[in-house]
Structure 1
Amino acid sequence: MKKATNSQTRQSEILQHLKHVGSATVDELAELFRATPQTIRKDLTTLSEANQISRFHGGAALLAGTVYTGFEARREIARAEKESIGKSLASRIPDNCSIILNAGTTTEAVIPHLEHHYGLKVVTDSVHLADKLRHFTGLEVMIPAGVIRGADGVVLGESAVEFIRQFRADFALVGTAAIAADGALLDYDLREASVTRAIIAAARHVFLAADCRKFGHGAPVCFGHLEQIDTLITDAGAGKPFLEACAKNGVEVVIADQREEAGAELA
């Protein structure tokens, strides 16, 4: 827990925290900064009025177009959950198929578990993920043209969207910055949202890889809805509201076994 000495310091630290995690609820921030929820709400109002963040019911998020602090920092958030989600998702990908792999730290966790697959054709919107995949002998990797975002290697722009629209892949593996209570899938970058929207439309079966912390949070750009998802891979922390939202939208839910990952680390 942190203890900010005054409101300006605390607001600055709240902003930095949001740049690290993307979004947070009032209760999470109150616990982190050892302040009352009322104090945190005032801080968020001040930051929102200064056009530094956007508010959603019960919390706040980065403004659209704001880049996360860094890919490496995001990778450490819910790392164990992401690892178990990645392994579970990879086990559901057969050999000799085509996939579109969306950029992100949760989808990245799938990659180590694809090493022994063969006959895969992989399209990805990330030069970072493509660089990891190119070392696997059983895979053919394709990336679109476009503008590369320096912070994390995501390929953006209309050229990327048009490239992805040419495909009809067997599977899409997508992530999300946040999932609203009404099932909206959210992000922070309009250009990235356009690419992810194209990925969802270009696949016969769509997997969403998202740890339970994503549910109930907000972000300013909507790229889809749970009703477009066939299968959600998440962790054991998924609560009743999250599971009910999936059931309402006909989403198959797979709970990744984190105990298996912990056992593998101890072995």
Structure 2
Amino acid sequence: MSENQNLLAEQRRALIVDEVRRRGGVRVNELTRKLGVSDMTVRRDLDALARQGVLEKVHGGAVPVVEASTHEPGFEAKSALELTAKEDIARAAAALVVPGTAIAMSGGTTTYALAQRLLAVPELTVVTNSVRVADVFHVAQRGAGRTGSSTVVLTGGVRTPSDSLVGPVADQAIAALHFDVLFLGVHGISAEAGLSTPNLAEAETNRRLVRSARRVVVVADHTKWGTVGLSSFASLDQVDTLVTDTGLPADARAEVTERLRRLIVAGEDAEGGADIREAAH
């Protein structure tokens, strides 16, 4: 019973944070009506979130606090970064996809690049919480004047600055499904914090994605290494494969090879191929 109560509290607090960030501030009485809980429960939630540094309590409510670990750039801002690396990673990751399988794709600009590479792979079932990823398939199928050979399932949820759908609705949908492979974009990755995000609700949704996948493939360029967001949602030990680019430093490569089964460094040779290292686990 206590675990269920903790999960409900975490989800409720994630919704509070999203509401504060979206509106730039919120009052206690508004939250009690929206969440259907008591004034005392909301105040306890605000106290807990304030201690975490996620928001700042003010008289009668709360306002956002912007810190490095909680800053979440929008999709457009991130899409202009590391373009070559993302294309190399997308090309290498696409080679891992087997026709006719069920895959999941999280939100992010690297998974968005990967989605464009998967249009030619037949008979896929794609489950995603990314509006952008779903649109790639939708636009391609509409342009071809047919329904397409792939089935795309877009989860519901609350939209983040990265155009991902998160929260209890997305979590419930994902928990009932099982994927052959999950392709996961991340805000940050490190040996100590594992995979992390600045968005609490997104962290919980990503946890559900990881639990529902037989294999987890992280697609992340080298700039994500050493970055730590507010909430960790998976350890490196839960990841099967990391697909990254040539900018990943040697010490990070050694760390990844030690912890993961497979490291793929996209664009390692002149022809744009990939250096694949298998860990001896």
Q: Quick check: TM above 0.5?
A: yes
Residue 66 of structure 2: aligned partner? 52
Secondary structure of 2:186's aligned partner: coil
CA distance in 2, matches of 1:138, 1:121: 9
Contact 1:226–1:251 (CA<8 Å) still a contact in 2? no
User: How many Å separate the matches in 2 of 1:146 and 1:125?
Assistant: 8
Letter of the 2:108 counterpart: G
Cα distance change of structure 1 residues 152 and 179 upon mapping to structure 2, 3 Å threshold: closer
Q: What is the match of residue 72 of structure 2? A: 67
The structural deviation recorded for 1:191 is 0.4
Match of 1:138 in 2: 149
Contact 2:181 2:216 in 1 (8 A): yes
| Residue number in structure 2 paired with 1:104 | 108
Matches within 5 A, 1:73-92: 73-92=77-96
Match of 1:210 among 205, 220, 231: 220
CA distance in 1, matches of 2:220, 2:132: 19
Q: CA deviation at 1:95?
A: 0.3
Match 1:118 to one of 117, 122, 129: 122
SS in structure 2 of the partner of residue 110 of structure 1: helix
Aligned partner of 1:114: which letter? L
Q: CA deviation at 1:248?
A: 2.4
TM-score, normalised with respect to structure 2: 0.68
Secondary structure (helix, strand or coil) at the match of 2:89 reads helix
Q: Cα offset for 1:153? A: 2.4
Cα distance in 1 for residues equivalent to 2:250 and 2:167: 37
Counterpart residue number, 2:99: 95
Q: Which has the larger radius of gyration?
A: 2
Which amino acid counterpart does residue 151 of structure 2 have in structure 1? Answer: E
The runs of 4+ residues in structure 1 deviating greater than 6 Å are: none
The alignment yields a C-alpha RMSD, in angstroms, of 2.1
Corresponding residue of 1:148: 159
Q: Distance in 1 between matches of 2:111 and 2:272?
A: 17
Distance 1:181 1:100 in 2: 24
- Change over 3 Å in CA distance of 1:196–1:123 after alignment to 2: same
- In the alignment, structure 1 residue 194 sits paired with structure 2 residue 204: yes
User: For 1:222 and 1:152, how far apart are their aligned partners in 2?
Assistant: 17
CA contact (8 A) 1:83 1:261 kept: no
Measure how far apart 1:141 and its partner are.
Answer: 0.3
CA shift, 1:183, in A, is 5.3
Higher RCO structure (Cα 8 Å, ≥6 apart) = 1
What's the CA shift for 1:51?
5.0
| SS of residue paired to 2:223 | helix
User: In 1, distance between residues paired with 2:236 and 2:272?
Assistant: 27
SS state at 1:118 partner:
coil
**In 2, distance between residues paired with 1:231 and 1:204?**
12
Q: Give the conservation status (yes or no) of the 8 Å contact 1:95–1:118.
A: yes
Residues 16-72 of structure 1: CA deviation (Å, up to 9, x unaligned): xxxxxxxxxxxxxxxxxxxxxxxxxxxxxxxxxx9532xxxxxxx242xx431x211
Classify the secondary structure of the residue corresponding to 1:109. Answer: helix
1:159-238 → structure 2 map (5 Å cutoff): 159-182=169-192, 184-238=194-248
Q: Among all aligned residue pairs of Structure 1 and Structure 2, give the percentage whose two residues are the same amino acid.
A: 28
TM-score (norm 1): 0.71
For this pair of structures, how many residues does the alignment match?
Answer: 203
- Note the C-alpha offset of 1:251: 3.1
